[in-house]
Chain A
Amino acid sequence: MANRMNFLQGKTVRKVIPANASHSRSSSTPQVNGTSATIYGGGVKDPSGRITEYSSEDDQCPVCKSDKYLEKRLRLLVSSCYHKMCESCIDRLFTLGPAPCPICSKVLRKLAFTPQTFEDLGVEKEIAVRRRIAKEFKKRVEDFSNLREFNDYLEDVEDITWNLINDIDPAGTEARITAYREANAALTLLNTQREEAYVLSLRQAEDLERKEKEMRAEEQRREEEEERAERESGKRDIIDRLERADDADAARVVRRTRRERAEREANRKGVAPGKGAQALLRARLAAAAATAAAKDTPHVPFQDNYYAYEDMFVLQPVYVDPTSEAVRKDREGIMRAGGFRVEEAWERALRSAVAGLDLWPLGQESVPNPQPIDQGGDVIMSAA
């Protein structure tokens, strides 16, 4: 089903290579024999060329009964009524204009023959039908007021598709399609435009990214070039100055020249990126802003605005702590889980030491000035 959906959306899908691999390769090379090689009306349109035409060793033309054994370059094409025949038969029967199909006697034209993509012609037909239906019926779930209507619509579409695939009441089905097209022309157009806009935005984003990458590479190349030129000119500069100066000055000259070069380099590094890059950055920011505006506000699942008693304690860098000594001594971290830091354990302990320190137990909050229950303990507490 997923594959089928991809075909419907015009995406490319790698086709399963038929049992006879060597043969399929030979058939994928263009065979220019007869006029129909240039016709590409139906089948799967795949500009990447990864989906090959179907042909098999057992192919036999149902009209003239010639097969691969007799005619090595036998190529069967499929008519619009989904019957196969070989190219020579097509040439023979239809060169003089429309003629009835020798199998079902439906009137056919030469241009209506297409290469075969799938072994099963039923699949071939179903895909053609579904592609056509997908073009006609473009309503989305948002276009309906309730689920029932949407489900009914889907049911209708599937009904029509099924009828077309199985040739049930073709006239009535076509009439239904026409009626729908007339009733929903505006909506279909709108949805088509929406889809196109979406595809366009994707392509633009891709373009922008590619351009940016190129520009960055270009920038880097130029910088490297400049740096190299700089270095060379620096060397030449030193040699020139050394020629002019006497021996005592030599070290000083070298030092000064180097310092100057370092300054120049620092200046260059500090310069903001080029104008082109800036423009590109702006464009990208604008695009990002546009997409952000189109999207819903993100859902924030957890807002961490708790008071964690930060003002109640100060974490020291180190404590005298026999409890955690073994863990701290263990440099290889055999005893520790990944990411364990003893400071965090200390902080948690300190936090729980001050958490809820002055909370009244339940049922005593209302008492304004409760007398301590254990007078002795309290006296000791306040006396110390």
Chain B
Amino acid sequence: MATSNKTLTPLYEASTQFKNWRHSSEDLAKIRSSLNSAAVAVIRQTLEAYEPGSSLAVSFLTPDEELLLVRLYISKISQLCGFFRFPEEVEATAVSYLKRFYLKNTVMDWHPKNVMLTALFLATKTTNNPISLEAYTDNIPKTAPSDVLELEFLVAQSLGFEFAVWHAHRALWGIWLDLQTVPTAPPDRALLESEKYDAAHRHLRNSRLSDAELIYTPSQIALASLSLASPELAAEWAEFKFPLGSPSLSRLQSIVASIKTLIQSSSQPVDVEAVRAVDLRLKLCKNPEKVVGSKAYLAKKAEEERKAEEKRNRKATDVQQAIAEGDLFGDELTRGLAVDDDDDDD
């Protein structure tokens, strides 16, 4: 079985999803709380800098409240995909992008509404289902093309430009196909029991609202969804893949069980009223440097402009110096580049 090929890297373990986007649940909680506290500290400082004493009255969001907001916008992605008739792959990819984005950023810096639109637009492109930007924004109320494009690079950067996602719905499809290979299977099971597949699919869609994909592998989530729909089928397939009594089988069973609780706990729809209250508070505690037109925003822009100017000057001086030293064609093989040619903000 899998262990016989220890010398080679399994394909899934070579993926960026395995390497960079796999966390334990404690790890996730830690990341979120540290992001939250860092953002709160920065925003408090900024508010104080412009209006001393103003930060005392502000009640900042907790990590859980942030997560609630993100979950609402995850469900919005499904609605939008239904409206645009995007394939399921687009929806699943966009959901993954949104979740991953908020492991690197906080809601208080970037409101999930626009991030969600950008993530979905990016997902249409990365999954080869492109749509024109105008067709996209024209059909979404109160959205301009610039809203989507402004964040696009930020989102791509937060994702580490790792756009490939292994999806659970594909794994579920694979399980369903493979169930036909089980020797004890009735010949036309796929047709007779198709409602079980549909039910499993519904559970899988629910799992997208949870953190399952950040913790477990897609195949495990798919099997757990199937197990929620039909425990018998799931057990049959698991025992078909792993011999009875093997450590792999018991491991898989316990993992599937924990995913099932996770899916069930997250399957109830988001309470819109609660989210609305959170959103109202968010208006007050948003990072003022990210609100276009505010004093802090203008100050930040000016500061950035100053830094860029400084960098340009430094670069010009470096070039001048290099020319003056007469080393323009010189021994860079040994000495390394004297001139900084990149454009990043170091």
Check if B290 is an interface residue, CB within 8 A of chain A. Answer: no
**Is A319 a contact partner of B177 (Cβ separation < 8 A)?**
yes
**Is A381 a contact partner of B26 (Cβ separation < 8 A)?**
no
Residues of B within 8 A of A322 (CB): 190-191, 194
Query: Contacts A320-B188, A357-B217, A363-B26 hold; do A309 and B10 have CB atoms under 8 A apart?
Result: yes
Check if B24 is an interface residue, CB within 8 A of chain A. Answer: yes
Residues of A within 8 A of B170 (CB): 348-349, 352-353
Query: Contacts A356-B217, A357-B219 hold; do A306 and B10 have CB atoms under 8 A apart?
Result: yes
**Is B258 a contact partner of A373 (Cβ separation < 8 A)?**
yes
Segment from B47-55, B90-98, B328-336 that makes contact with A: B328-336
**Is A356 a contact partner of B18 (Cβ separation < 8 A)?**
yes
Check if B241 is an interface residue, CB within 8 A of chain A. Answer: yes
**Is B331 a contact partner of A147 (Cβ separation < 8 A)?**
yes
Residues of B within 8 A of A381 (CB): 227, 231, 234-235, 238, 253, 256-257
Q: How far is the CB of A318 from chain B (nearest CB, A)?
A: 9
**Is A382 a contact partner of B219 (Cβ separation < 8 A)?**
no
Residues of A within 8 A of B11 (CB): 306-309, 351, 355
**Is A362 a contact partner of B23 (Cβ separation < 8 A)?**
yes
**Is A380 a contact partner of B332 (Cβ separation < 8 A)?**
no
Query: Contacts A307-B11, A362-B215 hold; do A377 and B232 have CB atoms under 8 A apart?
Result: no
CA distance A383 to B333 in the complex (A): 70
Bitwise, B80-118 to A at CB < 8 A (1) or not (0) is 000000000000000000000000000000000000000
**Is A312 a contact partner of B241 (Cβ separation < 8 A)?**
yes
Q: Which of B24, B232, B330 contacts A361 (CB under 8 A)?
A: B24
Most buried by A among B177, B180, B251: B177
Q: How far is the CB of B251 from chain A (nearest CB, A)?
A: 5
**Is B260 a contact partner of A374 (Cβ separation < 8 A)?**
yes
CA distance A320 to B227 in the complex (A): 21
**Is B1 a contact partner of A148 (Cβ separation < 8 A)?**
no
**Is A306 a contact partner of B14 (Cβ separation < 8 A)?**
yes
Q: How far is the CB of B184 from chain A (nearest CB, A)?
A: 12
Q: How far is the CB of A364 from chain B (nearest CB, A)?
A: 7
Residues of A within 8 A of B253 (CB): 372, 378, 381-382
Residues of A within 8 A of B172 (CB): 353
Q: How far is the CB of A324 from chain B (nearest CB, A)?
A: 9
Residues of B within 8 A of A316 (CB): 177, 180-181
Q: Which of A307, A358, A373, A382 contacts B251 (CB under 8 A)?
A: A358
Q: Which of B171, B175, B217, B232 contacts A359 (CB under 8 A)?
A: B217
Most buried by A among B18, B174, B231, B238: B174
Check if A93 is an interface residue, CB within 8 A of chain B. Answer: no
Residues of B within 8 A of A105 (CB): none
**Is B260 a contact partner of A362 (Cβ separation < 8 A)?**
no
Q: How far is the CB of A203 from chain B (nearest CB, A)?
A: 36
- Which single residue of chain B is at the shortest CB-CB distance from A147? B333
Residues of A within 8 A of B13 (CB): 356, 359
Check if A350 is an interface residue, CB within 8 A of chain B. Answer: yes
Residues of B within 8 A of A353 (CB): 170-175, 177-178, 219, 222
In A327-384, the 8 Å CB interface with B consists of 346, 348-364, 370-375, 377-378, 380-384
**Is A354 a contact partner of B8 (Cβ separation < 8 A)?**
no
CA distance A306 to B18 in the complex (A): 15
Residues of B within 8 A of A155 (CB): 329
Residues of B within 8 A of A383 (CB): 235
Query: Contacts A306-B8, A356-B12, A357-B217 hold; do A382 and B173 have CB atoms under 8 A apart?
Result: no
In B1-50, the 8 Å CB interface with A consists of 1-2, 4-5, 8-14, 18, 22-27
Q: How far is the CB of A328 from chain B (nearest CB, A)?
A: 13
Query: Contacts A311-B1, A353-B175 hold; do A358 and B261 have CB atoms under 8 A apart?
Result: no
CA distance A306 to B219 in the complex (A): 18
Residues of B within 8 A of A378 (CB): 253-254, 257
**Is B174 a contact partner of A358 (Cβ separation < 8 A)?**
no
Q: How far is the CB of B257 from chain A (nearest CB, A)?
A: 4
Q: Which of B5, B24, B181, B331 contacts A146 (CB under 8 A)?
A: B331
In A297-325, the 8 Å CB interface with B consists of 305-309, 311-314, 316, 319-323
**Is A307 a contact partner of B5 (Cβ separation < 8 A)?**
yes
Check if A151 is an interface residue, CB within 8 A of chain B. Answer: yes
What 4 A-B pairs come out closest when comparing CB atoms?
A: A353-B174, A363-B24, A356-B217, A349-B174
27 contacts between A and B (CB under 8 A): A147-B330, A147-B333, A305-B8, A307-B2, A320-B190, A322-B194, A323-B173, A351-B11, A351-B174, A352-B167, A353-B172, A353-B174, A353-B178, A353-B219, A355-B171, A356-B218, A359-B220, A361-B215, A363-B25, A377-B256, A378-B253, A378-B254, A378-B257, A383-B235, A384-B231, A384-B234, A384-B236
| Apart from A148-B331, A151-B330, A306-B14, 9 more pairs, CB < 8 Å | A147-B329, A316-B181, A319-B190, A355-B217, A358-B248, A374-B258, A374-B260, A377-B231, A384-B235
Q: Chain B interface (Cβ within 8 Å of chain A)?
A: 1-2, 4-5, 8-14, 18, 22-27, 166-167, 170-175, 177-178, 180-181, 188-191, 194, 215-220, 222-223, 227, 231-232, 234-236, 238, 241-242, 248, 251-258, 260-261, 329-334
